[in-house]
Amino acid sequence: MQLYQSQEIKIQNSLSGKKDVFKPLNEGHIGMYVCGPTVYSNVHLGNCRTFMSFDMIFRYFRHLGYKVRYVRNITDAGHLVDDAEDGEDKIAKKARLEKLEPMEVVQRYTVDFHNILQKFNFLPPSIEPTATGHIIEQIEIIKDILEKGYAYVTNGSVYFDVIKFNEDHEYGKLSGRKLEDMIANTRELTAQDEKRSPQDFALWKKAEPQHIMRWPSPWGDGFPGWHLECTAMSTKYLGETFDIHGGGMDLKFPHHECEIAQAEASNGHSPVNYWMHANMLTLNGKKMAKSTGNSILPGEIFSGDNAILSKSFSPSVVRFFMMQAHYTSILDLSNDALLASEKGFNRLMDALKILKQIETSKISDFDVVAWKQKCYDAMNDDFNTPILIAQLFEAVKHINAIKEGRESISAEDKTLLESTINAFVFDVLGLEAKNENEGGTDKLAGVVELLIELRKEARDNKDFATSDKIRDQLAGMGIQLKDGKEGTTFSVL
């Protein structure tokens, strides 16, 4: 008997607006599609949080014994700047600015994406298809939608007819928007507009002479609309109806709404049973934005080479920090939050080491079986990792009490506790144990902090020769000091 047969999962379904009991289409098998990155820049930390949430969900399903086909795409064409219907493709714009071929841009940032996710200990998806690899499938879907009367061709471009679709379907059911309200709140079309209605969206865009990324089609040279690629790839690999579609909250409208419309127009029925949306990550209480300087890349957190945090943090500490909030909640990243997470992570890892060494007795003061089910109950309640982590620290409390002789545990319960806590910490949450040399890193940090303090005293005493000597000799050893308003920090190069 597989674990999933004894555990009932409830999922917050964006389509129904409530927690629904999860029942896969096929016993023991799950099809899950998650919108991947548009690879025109280094992967954003907020995107990492979304992908990490679905990595955790993927891990838990596998832990329960499900066979999961997890598809996460790479958008390497068709995503226009500002998610608009007109303008430049994000990748083509980057290629023009950097004087590169578009596929050079794609390759560079796809490699960065994979490197960062590997550092965060992500499991690879079952399939990672690209938009450019599925142009034929996208053209076929457009032909099908045109044939069924839900799209029209204008000047070499093809647009989805939202008003026509809404006559016998419901456009807006995922986001809770009414088409009448959308129409009332949009500007009127100008004579230059190709669309019949402002709500219509592109299935295929005609490529202007200067547009780099272009493919032949029945309507002329062009490129696919951003929304279409996910419909094509999810249908190809998971079928016309599949279990779970995930992505960031910002994709609910219009991207996912358009996906539903395209699939229903083409196939005649709803494509997904459970829509899941992960919430955003903020930085120091504000939205992350490169334009305001309120942003940080994952690599800058790992290296400490940034002006926001006081020190570097390991990928597992950052992952642990993100798992401490429910995936549907807004999570704020700050120096204090990461420091607190690092302390908690170290406490958890230390308890795992202690657990291996504690002695057993004939009786147990800790009901491990009941505790184990509470861990499953947390995850079964819409993958509630904060509650799971609270249960893990409940176990840490008992482990420390057993070590100190205030409680006891039987050999059988110790074995069960070890296997359960390891499964949830490493297999489900995806954390990695501290390297033995990390203690040496902590000692190095202590020594450097001492030298920073001595350098500050030298500067206060106007002994600039000593101050500069400390800075320069540390730089020669690959340790860079950075002076800021709130003091001096360092990073190891």
- The architecture of the domain spanning 282-428 is Orthogonal Bundle (1.10)
Strands 18-21 and 157-160 turn out to be unpaired
pLDDT band at 58 (very low <50, low <70, confident <90, very high): very high
Burial of residue 313 (number of CB atoms within 10 Å: 0-12, 13-18, 19+)? buried
Cα end-to-end span (Å), the chain: 51
Would you state the pLDDT for residue 152? Answer: 98
pLDDT over 60 at 206, yes or no: yes
pLDDT in tens, 89-141: 899 999 999 999 999 999 999 999 999 999 999 999 999 999 999 999 999 99
CA-to-CA separations, 342 to 131, 330, 336, 362, 387, in angstroms, rounded: 39, 20, 10, 35, 18
Query: In degrees, to the nearest 5, what angle opens at C-alpha 330 toward C-alphas 324 and 335?
Result: 60
Q: What is the arithmetic mean of pLDDT over 13-34?
A: 98
CA-to-CA separations, 289 to 28, 44, 279, in angstroms, rounded: 42, 10, 16
**Type and span of the H or E element at 375:** helix 368-380
Q: What region does 115 belong to: left with phi over 0, alpha with psi -120 to 50, or beta?
A: alpha
pLDDT over 60 at 492, yes or no: yes
Domain 3-278, CATH among 3.30.750.24, 3.40.50.620, 3.40.50.10490, 1.10.3720.10: 3.40.50.620
The secondary structure of residue 208, as a DSSP letter, is P
C-alpha to C-alpha distance for 44 and 393, rounded to whole angstroms: 30
Q: How many CA atoms lie less than 13 Å away from 448 in the CB half-sphere?
A: 24
Q: Where are the domains of the chain?
A: 3-278, 282-428, 438-492
The rounded percent of the chain whose pLDDT value lies above 70 is 96
Is residue 270 a contact partner of residue 241, using CB atoms and an 8 Å limit? yes
pLDDT over 70 at 191, yes or no: no
pLDDT in tens, 146-164: 999 999 999 999 999 999 9
pLDDT band at 260 (very low <50, low <70, confident <90, very high): very high
Tally of CB atoms within 10 A around 291: 6
- Residue (of 198, 194, 200) closest to 185 by Cα position: 198
pLDDT in tens, 96-106: 999 999 999 99
C-alpha to C-alpha distance for 141 and 127, rounded to whole angstroms: 21
pLDDT band at 310 (very low <50, low <70, confident <90, very high): very high
pLDDT in tens, 439-486: 455 667 778 888 998 898 888 898 888 888 888 888 877 787 878 766
Q: What is the arithmetic mean of pLDDT over 276-281?
A: 97
